[in-house]
Structure 1
């Protein structure tokens, strides 16, 4: 069992071996669940959904997928609105 120290700001730093065990990297998020008796469970936050969900973004409603040219035009319009 690892012992961690709480700083004056109320922060706790997880050691590298604990982060590796959780499979997290800088920028990743953790979820913390409050358990009975003052305990907590820390888990790596994993995105909900599957990678295959992205593929449906390229489909028209009741039609085939967008062509490369159509995707390019959408991207150009998106960049143009950012200027």
Structure 2
């Protein structure tokens, strides 16, 4: 499970086996007791949320939007 970065108590990562065929670029966010998934394109969109409150989801979405290029670069480097 490649970790792209950490912010506060959250780990931003993707899984080494992201489906067959591979799903489009996305990022998982996890912390103890909660996880979420965001699609990166065409817009950053919440795929699912298990345990984060609305305020945290907004903050996580803002982080993903701000660091979208970094996430996509890590994805492409890993799966190249």
TM-score range, shorter chain: under 0.3
Q: TM-score, normalised by structure 2?
A: 0.23
Q: Which has the higher contact order (CA 8 A, sep 6+)?
A: 2
**Greater strand fraction, Structure 1 or Structure 2:** 2
